[in-house]
Amino acid sequence: MNGSTLGNHKIATFAGGCFWCVEAPYEKVDGVIDAVSGYMGGNDKNPTYDNYAKKGHIEVVQITYDPHKTSYEDLLHIFWRQINPTDAGGQFGDRGPQYRSVIFYHNDEQKKLAEKSKKQLAQSGRFTKPIVTELLPASAFYPAEDYHQDYHKKHPIKYKFFRLRSGRDSYLSQTWGDQQKYKSQKEDTIVVKNQNWRNFVKPSNEVLHKTLTPIQYKVTQKNGTEKPFDNPYWDNKEPGIYVDIVSGEPLFSSQHKYKSGTGWPTFWQPLAPENIIKKNDYFLIFKRTEIRSKHGDSHVGHVFNDGPKDKGGLRYCMNSAALRFVPLADLEKEGYGEYVGLF
């Protein structure tokens, strides 16, 4: 078993699917000295990215940390909030045993803390399925190739696109919400937010009356609905993203837009699920699911279960009056440059 200390520092090792996505959050934690992507758990030496899975290794991140600034319990707290602990077949878009979730403990103390943490999670009631994350003794650690290290810094757009497409961000947002964050982290968040709206405070009603048109105010503040086929975006085919007219937080993308025949802008999935709030709506007697923006608290529309079957079966039917369209050509200058790579 690897040693658990390096001078005055300690080490911890976690596997949670793609090591790029596990490494990045830990590098934001105050007290973490280094987070290195690599391989562990196999039956052969010197694995490479081309053969590590065949040799029985798993993608891991080995963390060097200062125990005076952050604890092993802190690192476990963050770990659970980066994975799906009920998935035994891999993590999100990455499938196979080389992507399964594992806590590799380096000593008996880490083992006891990991067992306690796993038991608490299982008893929390947050998950309906069993917690299948394994606890295994740490073995030889092999750092991954240089191009895998700090991938989120070297290729930020590709990294964010990968997280988005894998389903990781959507799952974590729906499962944990703001609890993805941890008090010992630095000011920036795990999933990088756009500076224009990250710290948004909803304007007063008086300001909204002055800045919104009557139909925009009616829709966003009074749960209104605009006329079908008589709104700006129902037939818009330009590439770009749709943001909340009140807060500017990203909500939908033209890449997920389709022509539903309803006369309103319609999408099969949101661009940023973490900015979407779903609420039960009984205004028309029968139950519907309302969509509101998280930061602006705007009524945006409703989601239904009659969308494209090959895209998940959902139909996000939105109001143009609740949205502002930002063309692809304007994403950088308007502060949404992180989404350019999606196109």
Write the secondary structure of 194-208 as one string of H (helix), E (strand) and C (coil): CCCCCCCCCCCHHHH
Q: What is the dihedral of CA 313, 270, 132, 310, to 10 degrees?
A: 30
Q: Determine contact, residues 293/300, Cβ cutoff 8 Å.
A: yes
111 compared with 312, residue with greater pLDDT: 111
pLDDT, tens digit (0-9, with 9 covering 90-100), for 176-225: 764 554 443 333 332 333 334 344 456 778 878 888 999 999 999 999 99
CA atoms of 76 and 187, how far apart (whole Å): 20
Q: Determine contact, residues 217/299, Cβ cutoff 8 Å.
A: no
Token pair of 221 as six digits: 């503040």
Give φ, ψ of 193 to 5 degrees: -100, 160
* Residue 199 C-alpha from the chain's centroid: 18
pLDDT, tens digit (0-9, with 9 covering 90-100), for 174-183: 787 645 544 4
Range from 199-208, 229-238, 333-342 that averages highest in pLDDT: 229-238
* Terminal C-alpha separation, the chain: 46
How much of the chain exceeds pLDDT 70, in percent?
Answer: 89
What is the CB neighbour count within 10 angstroms for residue 121? 17
Q: Determine contact, residues 285/191, Cβ cutoff 8 Å.
A: no
Report if pTM > 0.85: no
Q: Determine contact, residues 289/278, Cβ cutoff 8 Å.
A: yes
How much of the chain exceeds pLDDT 90, in percent?
Answer: 62
Mean pLDDT of 8-15: 94
Report DSSP state, residue 5: E
pLDDT score for 5: 61
R_g of the chain computed on alpha carbons: 22
Q: Is 343 helix (H, G, I), strand (E, B) or coil?
A: coil
Q: Dihedral of CA 170/176/180/181: which sign?
A: positive
Q: Is the model's pLDDT at 119 over the cut of 70?
A: yes
CA atoms of 149 and 145, how far apart (whole Å): 7
Q: Determine contact, residues 303/316, Cβ cutoff 8 Å.
A: yes
pLDDT score for 172: 86
pLDDT score for 7: 66
Q: Is 147 helix (H, G, I), strand (E, B) or coil?
A: helix
Q: Which residues are 304's β-sheet partners?
A: 315
Token pair of 128 as six digits: 């309906």
pLDDT, tens digit (0-9, with 9 covering 90-100), for 53-62: 999 999 999 9
| Catalytically active residues, by annotation | 18, 317
CA atoms of 62 and 40, how far apart (whole Å): 10
Domains belonging to the chain, first-starting first, are: 5-180 (3.30.1060.10), 205-342 (2.170.150.20)
Place of tokens 């390096």: 6
Question: 53-81 burial string, b = 16+ CB within 10 Å, else e?
Answer: bebebbbbbbbbbeeeebebebbbbbbbb
Contacts 24+ apart (CB under 8 A), 181-185: 182/29, 182/74, 182/77, 182/78, 182/81, 184/29, 184/30, 184/31, 184/69, 184/70, 184/74, 185/28, 185/29, 185/30
CA atoms of 163 and 21, how far apart (whole Å): 7
pLDDT score for 162: 85
